[in-house]
Structure 1
Amino acid sequence: MSEIAYVRGDATAPHGKGVKVIAHVCNDLGGWGKGFVLAVSRRWPEPEAAYRRWHRERAANDFGLGAAQFIQVERYVWVANLIGQRGIRTGSKGVPVRYEAIDSALRILGDQALELGASVHMPRIGCGLAGGKWPRVAPLIEERLLARGVPVTVYDHDD
């Protein structure tokens, strides 16, 4: 099994050849406006529009914790909206990250990446505004993606 490749840079400008899926974690409230999603929206309007429509029409679709949505933004680039965060604020119920939801969404992402023959590129998902801990998220990525032969690159952004 290969390992997660860690690089410095912008996950919205993924390295390498072939089909690439940029994965990130979204909340289950329909909110899009802080964190990594801003970088996504600066580059492509489609992922935000698709996420908002998915949330708005949730009574008739699979929107919810653990779900994943895939939007093709360029010929060889897709964005994966992964619902892995309950709400948007840390409060009495703890941080918004939901590891079991990230795990479920990563399983779906693995299926899609294998179908596309794609590599996966991401920031440290679930560890920014969602409040998650990378030592809890990295093993999920290893199990759901790397163990299935999906290459993964994690980008640490230069601030």
Structure 2
Amino acid sequence: MTVIDCIRGDATAPRGEGPRIVAHVCNDAGAWGRGFVRAVSHRWPEPEAAYRRWYRDRATGDFGLGAAQFVPVEPGLWVANLVGQRGIRVGRVGPAPVRYEAIDTALGLLADKAVELGASVHMPRIGCGLAGGTWDRVEPLVRERLSARGVAVTVYDFDG
């Protein structure tokens, strides 16, 4: 089992060599524009465009909770849109939209892709921002799905 490296930095500027995947959690409502996705869109337009197409075509595709989409953004670099949030909430009103089971399922798909590509995975503390989750619930999922399969994971805490 590999360890999870937690560092200060920007997950949209993943460190290291070789193939890399930047992973984040998105919602199943087709909404994009707040939280970490703003930084993703600022750096690369492709993940947002791909997510919006994926959502628009959801009736005939695999879009939904637990799904994962891998978008190439540079040679050897992908962004993984992981659907792990049921809808959105405004402010702190209502239940947290995080869905740990969906994150777990999507992380399994991410692990398959990372192993296939020989890639490391880079992420903020997924599911713990606007989704309202807690890292003590998400970290074991990352360990079980990614680290246990030998995938190197770096978690970035942004200094902003």
Matches within 5 A, 1:63-142: 63-89=63-89, 91-92=93-94, 94-142=95-143
Q: For 2:58 and 2:47, locate their aligned partners in 1 and report how far apart those are by CA, in whole Å.
A: 16
Q: For 1:17 and 1:142, locate their aligned partners in 2 and report how far apart those are by CA, in whole Å.
A: 21
Unaligned runs of 5+ in 2: none
Alignment-mate amino acid for residue 46 of structure 1: E
TM-score norm. by structure 2 comes to: 0.97
Alignment root-mean-square deviation, CA: 0.8
Deviations 1:16-58 (A, max 9, x none): 0000000000000000000000000001100000000000000
Task: Write out the 4+ residue segments of structure 1 that deviate beyond 4 Å after TM superposition.
Answer: none
Unaligned runs of 5+ in 1: none
Q: Which residue of 1 aligns with 2:18?
A: 18
Q: For 1:78 and 1:131, locate their aligned partners in 2 and report how far apart those are by CA, in whole Å.
A: 25
> Are 2:6 and 1:2 equivalent residues in the alignment?
no
SS at match of 2:59: helix
Deviations 1:91-113 (A, max 9, x none): 44x20000000000000000000
* Pairs aligned (count): 158
Alignment-mate amino acid for residue 40 of structure 1: V
Q: For 1:144 and 1:91, locate their aligned partners in 2 and report how far apart those are by CA, in whole Å.
A: 31
SS at match of 1:58: coil
Percent identity, aligned pairs only?
Answer: 71
Alignment-mate amino acid for residue 42 of structure 2: R
TM-score norm. by structure 1 comes to: 0.98
